[in-house]
């Protein structure tokens, strides 16, 4: 068996050859009827839109944590005699 399933490999090759931006197809979970062997290859599919939201949340949480540590450090240095 090829690295990718034959239907998936053929579909992706055709789309890339046509010059179409295939990333749009992965903004949402892939349609099982369009690429039936996608779910055989990708065991836990995640849409790009889901990843984008998760990264945004992590960036926000990281910023909050940095701000919290900065305020704690600043408070400690202000209380020393």
Residue numbers of the chain with a pLDDT score lower than 70: 1-5, 7-8, 66-69, 72-81
Q: Report pLDDT for 1.
A: 43
* Per-residue confidence (pLDDT) for residue 77, from 0 to 100: 63
Residues 40 and 65 in one domain: no
Q: Are residues 39 and 78 in the same domain?
A: no
Q: What is the pLDDT of residues 12-27, one digit of tens each?
A: 777 777 877 777 777 8
Angle at 55 between CA 51 and CA 58, to 5 degrees: 140
Counting the structural domains of the chain, the total is 2
Residue with tokens 């701000």: 67
Could you tell me if 35 and 5 lie in one domain? Answer: yes
13, 28: one domain: yes
pTM to 2 decimals? 0.47
**Given this model, what pLDDT does residue 80 score?**
53
Q: How far apart are CA 56 and CA 62, in angstroms?
A: 10
Query: Which range marks the domain in which residue 63 is found?
Result: 47-81
């Amino acid at each position: 068996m090829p690295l990718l399933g034959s239907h998936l490999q053929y579909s992706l090759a055709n789309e890339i050859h046509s010059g179409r931006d295939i990333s749009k197809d992965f903004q949402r979970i892939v349609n099982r009827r369009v690429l039936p062997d996608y779910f055989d290859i990708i065991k836990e599919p995640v849409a790009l839109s889901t990843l984008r939201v998760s990264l945004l949340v992590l960036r926000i949480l990281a910023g909050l944590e940095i701000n919290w540590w900065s305020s704690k450090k600043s408070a400690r240095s202000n209380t020393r005699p």
